[in-house]
Amino acid sequence: MNFDSRKYVIVIFFVLTGLLYSIKLFYMQVVDDHWKLRAKQIAEQRREITPPRAVVFDRNGKKIVENKTYYNLMMREADMEELDTVAFAKLIGWEPEEVGKRYRAIVEGEGKTLIRETGKYDPNYRKGRSYPFIKELTQDEMSRIAPNLENFKGFREEVASMRNYPYANGANILGYLNEVSAEEVKNDPFYKGGHHIGRTGIERYYEKQFRGTKGVKYIVQSARSVVIESFEDGKYDTTAIQAPPIHLGLDVELQAYGEKLLQNKKGCIVAIEPSTGEILALVSSPSFDPNLLVGKKNISKNYPKLVNDENKPLFPRPLASEYMPGSTFKLIQALIGMQEGVITDQSGFTCNKSVVGCHNHPHPSSVTKAVQFSCNPYFYAVTRRIVQQKKKKSSFHDAEIGLNNWAKYMHSFGLGKRLDTDITGLRSGVIPDSKYYDKWYGHHMWKFSTIRSISIGQGEVQLTPLQLANVAAIMANRGWYYTPHFVKSIGDDGPLEKYRVKNKTMVDKKYFAPVIEGMRRCVHEPGGTARRARIDGVTMCGKTGTVENYIGGVKQKNHSVFISFAPMNNPKIAIAVFIENAGGGGGTWAAPTASLMIEQYLNGEVKSTAKEKRIMDAKLSNFK
Amino acid sequence: MRQNESLTGSFDWALFAVYILIMSMGVATVYSAAYDSDHPSLFSFSEVYGRQLMWVGVSLFLGLLVFLIDSDIYRKFSLPIYGFTLALLIIVLLLPERNGAKSWLGIGSFGIQPGEFAKVGTAILLSSFIGSINVKQQNVRTVLLVSAIIGLPMILIMLQPDAGTFIVFTAFLFVMYREGVTFDPIILKFVNLIPGIKFRQTWVGIHFIPIIFAIVFLCLTTLIVSHEPLLLDTFPGEEFSGYWKILISLVFFYIAAYFVMRWIFAKRDRKRAAAIAIIGFLISVFISFVVNFTFEKLPSHQRLRIELLLGIYEGENVQDGADYNRNHAMAAVGSGGFFGKGYQNASVSSVETNHVPESETDFIFCPFAEEWGFAGSLLLIGLYLFMMLRIVKMAERQRSTYNRVYAYSVAVILFYHFAVNLGMNIGFAPVIGIPLPFFSYGGSSMMSFSVMMFILLKLDSQRKDVLN
């Protein structure tokens, strides 16, 4: 066989490859514009400008969250020329070795992303990207650095903004910001390393409404010279647009007043405008100055202190603390009883102290009186009738049906489920149903007598203060509620769609009148449990609660609870007050606190100065 | 008898001129790509361009040495030379890693990559061995020896690991093909085990190398083409597997092949055309199906690696993610336009902006193509083609098999480097780091290619001395 002809195969191979490459090159370089545009994209720099976040106003137009300007010193290695470390360190007031340390920290740490495929962190540092070399410089600090910055190529100042809270109130509502995580940068192109994101509160819930629209500035840097010019005269540049202001239903004066009332106490106040569902105040005590958690420096200094504080100021009690509601719960029991037809407004039960303890009071011959006197045996009897309707032969089976029916009513009052309020950290409370008790006792192994404490709001029942305040709003509205919410409007838009939907309870309006009359008498008639809550010239309705509680089987001082709305007709405010381990009854601490809040809100000032002084000065023993 | 000619009597000046020209263009491009305004002199030895100039000097000096030595030396000492390069490959494996591979032998920034020199050693021994056998009397032993000569350095390079150099060694398959060295004896050994069969040669064995290339080509095309689903205008919204495109192409290809064969074959053989077309079609379908099916079943991270290698990765981060290098390289080349942006005006691939990594070594074509445009690129391709074809021509004029095999080795190794390196700059080849001969920055490749070239020039100039 002669192999000489095979040389042609090789020659053809060489020539074809050369030809193919030439054609491809002709297409890439001469015909197709795609790569030219791509090259432009690569060679130009995109500088993104993040607008300051939306400012927040309270219901009376007072600015409660604003921005203050600060500066980041940005570094871009691609622009750097030999850096005189010593001179640079002197300019920024550092030790020379710190400069190198910071540089290495950026190279190794910034833009690090988790690669899912390998499970390893990939340092994603790029010389062509800007990274903050020093963050959060004040105007003063920057003005010392800026004039000399042009001697250090690759460094520039970047204006950024940080939150400021003129009122220092409502920290648990507003929430705080901190730097985005690598994961967040990866998942949302809006964020770059060093950006801030809402971590808690409404800053987190409304993150997208707060952050605004980024602006972009295109800059072209030619190869040899470091001349920077705007790309095509800024044709493609866009300006950063701040998000429209956000108005809250919150009354910052009321909020501040509430925080002052609860100073040195653990507890909560939640006030709602019943006709709209707007939250007027949401006090979590103890709280903290939100300015403590502004910016990286402050957060790293103050956050550990707040986290380790025994009184747990970071814990949003009104949203996440689940308490037994005590006697305030009786209002709903009465309503359900009447709606179910197991009692009428004129039903009377003997105050038989052998089943549940009670205090001495006149005979509860009607729903109104039972509410007024807060008679335990009465509501024991009512709830028994609700749960055991004798629809089944087996009392166990009967209790199962009755309890589940009862739970359904409770859900319609927004209890036992998480309210869809515009904030994070909400909890659902507990409304036990048959499944719940089946787990404890076994299927058909329990009946009303087993679970009777729920009738007076003790035992397994748990509510958050926000839910309790919502119950007050339901009472004020006689049977319906708007889901409580903070944000009244965003720019020109009203509240979110879901806050414009009326939620109806399963109890008809007509059954509310006797219960509300009972609530009025609680405050205004002799024998009522909340006599300390009276305010001159305002007809108030309220209901006290005194919650027995135990820690590890040891009885603690009672929680003091009060829910209320005022005025009785055309209510303007519904409120729930919860003071932990206050001792005494609901009328001792919670009721006067609520009345002060109502007085402040309705009248704009408080005349009951003695009452005010008593509450403010109280330092309860559980507060450390 | 040795003819009494002057030292440069039949020196191939044309090849030498192209070699010098490409090398000069390379230095100029490295100077532009790596330019540092603090060290503007071309002779700044702290910069890569200064060092490149030094490597050029060293290479020319080595070339002169090579040229002064009688070419017979290489044949006589082919085994020790091969052994020496192999020993370097073993030593480098015992040294600590550098940049994740054991491919570097030396101190500090000065050192050599034994892999580059192993090519020369292998070419010399392979030429000498093939020159010593009669290809018409191939047996299992000769085939195994040829395989060992090529295979040993490949295994050692695989251990470094250095995928680029490893692949370059398959260039020797072309040389074997040209010389008619086949794997037929081994295949016959097995085939003739089957009772009743006694072949003297097999078609597959003889055409082993083209068949390997055909199969590799089919596999790669299958993966690349199947990757994109088939969308038909007649079925809007429907997505068909991209594999259908391969199937349809194969049908058309073999129908065309059938008619071509009918036209070429003699009348009595026309029935064979149909049989060949059908068998070929079935085998092709089988291979492509298996490849496609296996790929689909691979774990996602392995698929990703293959996709990246083939340049068909289409994840979210195409612009800045895993396909970063290739994308930026292609942008640099593509933005060159017809006449380029002008010398020292590359904006994408200059070291200053640093958008293309390794723009002075593996991606050296980027700054060149960006600054000189299509005109320059065409000139460079022309120069390389001229060089390779000139070497083929030179090979064919040799009187000894030894010289011819060596010349072909040089030609195909140059071709591999040229095709893969340029290919990865224009999206035709996976990103495999091998230098562009005489052009990329790097001492080892400059020296080894120069030595390779000067041995060839020397052999050629003495071709009339040697009587086979």
pLDDT digits (tens, 9 = 90+) for A447-489: 888 888 888 888 889 999 999 999 999 999 999 999 999 999 9
Q: Which residues contact A509 (CB under 8 A, 6 or more apart)?
A: A478, A479
pLDDT tens track for B425-451? 888 777 777 899 999 998 889 999 999
Per the CB < 8 Å rule, is B378 touching A22?
Answer: yes
Please identify which residue in the block is written with the tokens 């409502």.
A170
- State which H helix or E strand residue B50 sits in: helix B48-68
Is-contact B283 B211, C-beta < 8 A? Answer: no
pLDDT tens track for A543-600? 999 888 888 888 888 899 999 998 999 999 999 999 998 887 888 899 999 999 999 9
Q: Which of B210, B354, B388 sits opposite A128 (nearest CB)?
A: B354
Is-contact A238 A209, C-beta < 8 A? Answer: no
CA A401 to chain centre: 36
Length of chain B: 468
Q: Which fold has domain A252-617?
A: Beta-lactamase (3.40.710)
Closest CA to B26 of B63, B47, B64, B55: B55
Q: By the CB < 8 Å criterion, does B337 face chain A?
A: yes
| Confidence at residue B435, expressed as pLDDT on a 0 to 100 scale | 92
User: What percentage of chain B reaches a pLDDT higher than 90?
Assistant: 34
Closest residue of chain A to B387, computed from CA coordinates: A14
Is-contact B339 A46, C-beta < 8 A? Answer: no
Backbone angles phi, psi at A429, to 5 degrees: 70, -175
pLDDT tens track for A71-91? 888 888 877 877 888 888 888
Average pLDDT value for chain A: 86
Residue range A151-163: mean pLDDT, rounded:
83
Q: By the CB < 8 Å criterion, does A42 face chain B?
A: yes
The mean-pLDDT minimum among A250-254, A293-297, A499-503, B149-153 falls in A293-297
Return the C-alpha torsion angle B232, B235, B238, B241, nearest 10.
-40
- Local structure of A228: helix, strand or coil: strand
Distance in Å, alpha carbon of A218 to nearest chain B alpha carbon: 16
- State which H helix or E strand residue A65 sits in: strand A63-76
Predicted ipTM of the assembly: 0.87
CA–CA separation, B154 vs B391, rounded Å?
Answer: 25
| Confidence at residue B4, expressed as pLDDT on a 0 to 100 scale | 45
Closest CA to B308 of A193, A115, A14: A115
Q: Is A309 exposed, middle or buried (0-12, 13-18, 19+ CB in 10 A)?
A: middle
Q: By the CB < 8 Å criterion, does A221 face chain B?
A: yes
CA–CA separation, B385 vs B177, rounded Å?
Answer: 20
Q: Which residues contact A614 (CB under 8 A, 6 or more apart)?
A: A592
In chain B the first and final C-alpha atoms are separated, in Å, by 12
Per the CB < 8 Å rule, is B180 touching A3?
Answer: yes
Q: Which residues contact A435 (CB under 8 A, 6 or more apart)?
A: none
- In A222-341, which ranges are E strands? 228-230, 246-248, 267-273, 278-285
DSSP A412-429: HTT-SS----SSS-----
CA–CA separation, B430 vs B295, rounded Å?
Answer: 17
Q: Which of A32, A82, A223 sits opposite B352 (nearest CB)?
A: A223
CA–CA separation, A219 vs A40, rounded Å?
Answer: 10
DSSP B373-418: HHHHHHHHHHHHHHHHHHHHHHHHT-SSHHHHHHHHHHHHHHHHHH
In chain A the first and final C-alpha atoms are separated, in Å, by 102
Per the CB < 8 Å rule, is B352 touching A22?
Answer: no
Distance in Å, alpha carbon of A33 to nearest chain B alpha carbon: 8
| Confidence at residue A231, expressed as pLDDT on a 0 to 100 scale | 64
Closest CA to A201 of A178, A180, A165, A173: A173
Please identify which residue in the block is written with the tokens 């359904």.
A408
| Confidence at residue B72, expressed as pLDDT on a 0 to 100 scale | 85
The 3-class secondary structure across A568-595, one letter per residue, is CCCCCEEEEEEECCCCCCCCCCHHHHHH
Structure tokens at B298: 């691979």
The mean-pLDDT minimum among A168-172, B16-20, B318-322, B418-422 falls in B318-322
- State which H helix or E strand residue A389 sits in: none
- Local structure of B325: helix, strand or coil: helix
Distance in Å, alpha carbon of A154 to nearest chain B alpha carbon: 13
Residue A290 has pLDDT above 70, yes or no: yes
Closest CA to B275 of B258, B250, B256, B251: B258
Longest dimension (CA), chain B: 79
- In A250-312, which ranges are E strands? 267-273, 278-285
| Confidence at residue A225, expressed as pLDDT on a 0 to 100 scale | 40
Position B18 confidence tier, pLDDT thresholds 50, 70, 90 = very high
- The b-or-e profile of A190-225 (16+ CB within 10 A means b, else e) is bbbbbbbbbbbbbbbbbbebbbbebeebbeebebee
Q: Tell me if the bond preceding A567 is cis, omega within 30° of 0.
A: yes
Structure tokens at A430: 């507990």
Distance in Å, alpha carbon of B135 to nearest chain A alpha carbon: 10
Q: By the CB < 8 Å criterion, does B72 face chain A?
A: no
Closest residue of chain B to A12, computed from CA coordinates: B389
Residues of A in contact with B388 (CB under 8 A): 14
CA–CA separation, B251 vs B271, rounded Å?
Answer: 18
Residues of A in contact with B363 (CB under 8 A): none
Distance in Å, alpha carbon of B436 to nearest chain A alpha carbon: 15
Residue that wins the pLDDT comparison between A358 and B456: B456
CA–CA separation, A325 vs A560, rounded Å?
Answer: 10
Q: By the CB < 8 Å criterion, does A391 face chain B?
A: no
| Confidence at residue A403, expressed as pLDDT on a 0 to 100 scale | 92
Residues of B in contact with A32 (CB under 8 A): 334
CA–CA separation, B420 vs B402, rounded Å?
Answer: 27
| Confidence at residue B320, expressed as pLDDT on a 0 to 100 scale | 44
Structure tokens at A379: 């509501």
Closest CA to A565 of A271, A304, A195, A218: A271
Q: By the CB < 8 Å criterion, does B373 face chain A?
A: yes
Residues of B in contact with A221 (CB under 8 A): 353
pLDDT tens track for A344-379? 988 888 888 877 788 888 888 899 999 998 888 999
pLDDT tens track for A276-287? 999 999 999 889
Backbone angles phi, psi at A255, to 5 degrees: -60, -45
Residue A233 has pLDDT above 70, yes or no: no
CB atoms within 10 A of CB B137: 8
CA–CA separation, B269 vs B262, rounded Å?
Answer: 8
* Residues 393-412 of chain A whose Cβ lies under 8 A from any Cβ of chain B: none
The 3-class secondary structure across B108-174, one letter per residue, is CCEEECHHHHHHHHHHHHHHHHHHHCCHHHCCHHHHHHHHHHHHHHHHHHHHCCCHHHHHHHCCHHH
Q: Tell me whether strands A196-198 and A177-179 are parallel, antiparallel or unpaired.
A: antiparallel
Closest residue of chain B to A225, computed from CA coordinates: B352
Is-contact A236 A48, C-beta < 8 A? Answer: no
Residue range B176-195: mean pLDDT, rounded:
82
CA–CA separation, B139 vs B215, rounded Å?
Answer: 25
Q: By the CB < 8 Å criterion, does B186 face chain A?
A: no
Residues of A in contact with B344 (CB under 8 A): 223-224
Is-contact A568 A520, C-beta < 8 A? Answer: yes
Residues of chain A with CATH 3.40.710.10: 252-617
Express the helix, strand and coil content of chain B in percent, nearest 5 each.
Answer: 65, 0, 35
* Residues 413-442 of chain B whose Cβ lies under 8 A from any Cβ of chain A: 415, 418-419, 422-423, 426-428
Residues of A in contact with B353 (CB under 8 A): 43, 78, 128, 221, 223
Per the CB < 8 Å rule, is A117 touching B304?
Answer: yes
| Confidence at residue B335, expressed as pLDDT on a 0 to 100 scale | 87
Residues of A in contact with B346 (CB under 8 A): 223
Position B346 confidence tier, pLDDT thresholds 50, 70, 90 = confident
Distance in Å, alpha carbon of A28 to nearest chain B alpha carbon: 5
Q: Which of A14, A41, A224 sits opposite B389 (nearest CB)?
A: A14
